[in-house]
Amino acid sequence: QGYCSPSGPIEATNCAYETIEGLNSELFPAVHDLVSHPFFKYYKVDLYRECPFWKDDSGMCMNRACAVQEADDSEIPDKWRAGALSKVHLPDAEEAEGMAGCYFRNDDFCATDDDASPGGQYVDLTLNPERYTGYAGGSAHDIWKAIYQENCFGLSEASIADAKAGRGRSVAPPSFGMGAMGDDMQRAGLAPAETCEEKKLYYRVISGLHASIATSICANWLDRETGTWVPNLDCFIWRLAKFPERLGNVYFNAVLLLRAVARAAPYFHAYDIAITPPSLRSEEGTPRGAVDYDTRASFDKVLALAERADISSSFEERAFFTDPDAPIVMEQFKNHFRNVSRIMDCVGCDKCRMWGKLQVSGFGTALKILFALDEKDLNPEANPDLLRRTEVVALFNTLHRVAETLHSVAGFRDMWAERIAAD
């Protein structure tokens, strides 16, 4: 299309493996602790939205492992409900038509549900780990294919009109197979050499997410004989180790999320993560050992690690959306990303859908921080409500998913070395 350069800052990420792995030995335990705190572990999500694109009940996963355990209502801090009630805004018919299963504001790449949305359930994420569920086959393949096909940017008249009207465009019908085509990018409709930066960005985020989910599946595989969850090295070899590009995209996502967290760190340092209502807080502040104090300390630790991370050479956000057509490409990018969250409503396994929605929202929040907000927006005093709790929870749980994946990759490497030594 001639509006993006074919090579650029994304490739440099390959040099960042060691930096990221070194950082992850501290990051993973820190963010693992963070997401166990009440502010970060309760997430509201609507799992009963209809798939807006096609009807297919055949792909519904009925395994127990696909089910989501909801949180006990009494555990949800009143503060969120009270705050949410005052903010409830039910879309009118015209607004709702454009939303179809996904609520978002203008600068959102996609926000799904939040404390204020009328439907949805609270889940305790720690009770619903991402792992092997048995959801597979045609339905799962169709979803991935549809998501990769959203990577379709261009400056045709129709797509410009769509971008201006805030509409997404292509959603594939679920009638295709994932055949034995060549490499991942070609299969996803991308020719690497002629691909613009924004397309590559989209592709790498999705492929990295796909690879991270696959790693969680292989690291937490159900051993049917013992009924326990164990790492499955062969699963990892066949799905990931044979495709270094896929793992590279997980590292890329780690860098992207860390850049976003570091950029918004001053905002997050001031973000109100207290769950105690103001009337019950002491004047001296929260005492050490109290929930809010511990959460704050844990949050500050993760923020400090992201701020310290030496990854500036691996990802340069200013290299994207710079051409004269950037506003149109940006709108297209947002619309496609919003479509991905809608496609998630078609995933036939509740637990997969929940983690899928959360992570798309987490990446959407990171992209918004990097590309849609400026320093003025991110000023915590001027704009304390810029990011909603749902976005903050999604962002840091997505960072946790990626950090855990990198941790599992290190474990698989050790298992491989042991296997080689034993042969």
Which residue from 178, 191, 230, 319 is in contact with ligand FAD, where contact means CB under 6 A?
178
SS3 (DSSP) at 60? coil
Q: Does residue 217 touch ligand FAD according to CB under 6 A? A: yes
Q: Does 165 bind ligand FAD (CB under 6 A)?
A: no
* Distance from chain centroid for Cα 357: 7
The footprint of ligand FAD on residues 45-74 (CB under 6 A) is: none
CB-based contacts of 43: which residues, under 8 Å, 6+ apart?
122, 123, 125, 354, 358, 390, 393, 394, 397
From the list 21-29, 159-167, 212-220, 402-410, the region that binds ligand FAD by CB under 6 A is 212-220
Taking the CA atoms of residue 287, residue 290, residue 292 and residue 297 in that order, the dihedral angle to the nearest 10 degrees is 80
Contact between 138 and ligand FAD (CB under 6 A)? no
Binding ligand FAD (rule: CB under 6 A), the pick from 116, 311, 347, 366 is 347
Least CB distance from residue 182 to ligand FAD, whole Å? Answer: 10
Q: What is the DSSP letter of 50?
A: P
Q: Does 301 interact with ligand FAD (rule: CB under 6 A)?
A: no
Among positions 145-164, residues that touch ligand FAD (CB under 6 A) are none
Which residue's CB is nearer to ligand FAD, number 114 or number 350? 350
Q: Which of 156, 228, 113, 107 is nearest to 1 (CA)?
A: 156
Question: How far is the C-alpha of 112 from the C-alpha of 128, rounded, in Å?
Answer: 19
Query: CB under 6 A: which stretch of 126-134, 155-163, 278-286, 380-388 binds ligand FAD?
Result: 126-134
Specify whether 346 is catalytic: no
Nearer to ligand FAD, 79 or 187 (CB): 187
Q: CA 296, 269, 354, 123: dihedral to nearest 10 degrees?
A: 30
Residue choice 15, 85, 136, 270 for contact with ligand FAD (CB under 6 A): 136
By beta-carbon proximity to ligand FAD, the closer residue of 160 and 237 is 237
Which residue in 355, 363, 396, 412 binds ligand FAD (CB under 6 A)? 355
Containing 123, the helix (H) or strand (E) segment is: strand 121-124
Please provide the DSSP assignment of 235-300 as one string.
HHIIIIIT-HHHHHHHHHHHHHHHHHHHHTHHHHHT-----S-GGGS-TT-PPTTSHHHHHHHHHH
In angstroms and rounded to an integer, the radius of gyration of the C-alpha atoms of the chain is: 21
**CB of 260 vs ligand FAD, minimal distance in Å:** 21
Residue placing its CB nearer to ligand FAD in the complex, 116 or 143: 143
**Least spacing, CB of residue 297 vs ligand FAD, in Å:** 31
Give the span between the Cα atoms of 362 and 404, in whole angstroms.
15
> Which residues does residue 122 pair with via DSSP β-bridges, in sequence order?
44
Distances (CA, A) of 14 to 186, 237, 404: 20, 20, 19
Question: For residue 411, what are its two tokens?
Answer: 């474990």
Query: What is the dihedral angle through the alpha carbons of 148, 149, 153, 156, rounded to the nearest 10 degrees?
Result: 180
Q: Which residue, 103 or 355, is less far from ligand FAD as judged by CB?
A: 355
The 220-249 site mask, x for binding ligand FAD (CB under 6 A), equals: -------------------x------x---
Q: What's the length of the chain?
A: 423
Identify the residue among 124, 130, 350, 404 touching ligand FAD (CB under 6 A): 130
Tell me whether residue 47 or residue 330 sits nearer to ligand FAD (CB atom). 47
Q: List Cα–Cα distances, 294 to 240, 290, 301, in angstroms.
A: 37, 6, 11
Of 20 and 264, the one with the shorter C-beta distance to ligand FAD is 20
Residue 15 designated active-site:
no
Q: Does 397 bind ligand FAD (CB under 6 A)?
A: no
Q: What are phi and psi of 364, to 5 degrees?
A: -60, -40
Token couple for 129: 């780990």
Give least dist CB 141 to ligand FAD, A.
5
Residues annotated as catalytic are: 349, 352
Which positions lie near ligand FAD, rule CB under 6 A? Answer: 130, 132-133, 135-136, 140-141, 143-144, 178, 184, 187, 207, 210-211, 213-214, 217, 239, 246, 344, 347, 351-352, 355-356
